[in-house]
Structure 1
């Protein structure tokens, strides 16, 4: 009964059920004969019976607890693997694969509702110089702090992803190119004014941003390519600027 009880009802409810069962059995066994007629057992036999039941209940509860912990650990491990597959390990942002999936989903959803979708392709200016001067630890700190800054500048429904290296992609659902330009300029200004403190040194960086709005006949690849061309124009025109 003990293994079945904790397995079917769960650990907590199973133990409660076993406690109730043991209480009823003890009441029946120890009730005087003049109250209810029942078989007579010796004290040693009764004690062995109760101890055996308690031992079986304890072992069943221990097994069920171990089984539940193993199941929870397996779920947590699966969640961590899934998170690693969909997130950038340094910045904790969505990675390129995750961003591409989100773009396809947003494209399907927004086209059904006839709503605009825009993206910002951001690239840190002269980031190689930052790595050369402050080392990769300094560069990593810059990427991490700017990732947090990007998330603070966008809405909850927007997605910030690390597109690769020092490039970031910001997905803006329900946003036209004109509205995206305002958001991009706000992000560019915030980065320009932000200072990263690293080993008692101050690191200042700027970014260039290309903007692209999805048209009806465009694919996701074409959307990104357009944003990349705009980013290239922003770099050519002197960096630290937004190009629609």
Structure 2
């Protein structure tokens, strides 16, 4: 029903409702006259038709508009429940849900997939030095960057304050490395402007793989990638490291 209303559109739907109302008004008026045993009055039919043409569009325009507004609000609520407002990426709950789905699908088809955990470097320092507005701008900029870098099949979400998770379906270790290298280079070239100051930022990445024969669950794999991330932090940041299990 919702899809039909959205596809047809408000104006067309009002026209359809008005035509149906006009036909019903004429039909009911004829039926009523026949029941009462009166001769068919074209004046009564004309009045019924005019009433339907006047009342139906006014009432249906309001009701259809109200219903479409409810649909719009429902869609926004669904988006708010799934997406992080600053980055536009999946929030933690939605990311983990999609990750579980990908895990099940990969197991079924005996495929591997890569898991990356990314953390923006020195984010707290940037917030302390330039204010939280700068941090928010970086998160917004980073979200736009990610959307331009990932494939449609890739899953990415904000899983912490400045921490992000990636699921790359049908991706081996070599392609995971290439993705991480390209992403780090692209991030390093980015900057945001606030109060006349250009602020650059970098990131660190941890990588692990999920193999078809592995019994590791999503939480275990994320933990592996997270440990690799801390190795990247210890190695000087602005780099990536691979979990020992797949290195």
Q: TM-score, normalised by structure 1?
A: 0.81
Alignment match, 2:238? 240
CA gap of 1:166–1:202, structure 2 versus 1, over 3 A, is: same
Structure 1 stretch 54-63 or stretch 78-87: which is displaced more? 54-63
Alignment of 1:135 with 2:131, yes or no, is yes
Matches within 5 A, 1:107-126: 107-126=103-122
Q: Secondary structure at the match of 1:217?
A: coil
Work out whether residues 18 and 56 of structure 2, in 8 Å CA contact, stay in contact via their aligned partners in 1: no
Number of aligned residue pairs: give it: 218
Structure 1: where are the runs of 5+ without partners? 1-9, 25-37
Q: Deviations over 1:106-147 (max 9, x none)?
A: 111111111111111110111111111111011111111111
Q: Deviations over 1:185-216 (max 9, x none)?
A: 11111111222222211111111100011132
**Which structure would you say has the larger Rg?**
1
Alignment match, 1:29? none
Structure 1 stretches of at least 4 aligned residues deviating more than 4 Å after TM superposition: 17-24, 38-41
CA distance in 2, matches of 1:13, 1:150: 44
Q: CA RMSD in A?
A: 2.4
Matches within 5 A, 1:168-187: 168-187=164-183
Alignment of 1:86 with 2:82, yes or no, is yes
Structure 1 stretch 195-204 or stretch 98-107: which is displaced more? 195-204
Q: TM-score, normalised by structure 2?
A: 0.80
Alignment match, 2:4? none
CA gap of 1:236–1:40, structure 2 versus 1, over 3 A, is: closer
CA gap of 1:146–1:159, structure 2 versus 1, over 3 A, is: same
CA gap of 1:40–1:182, structure 2 versus 1, over 3 A, is: closer
Alignment match, 2:93? 97
Alignment match, 1:206? 202
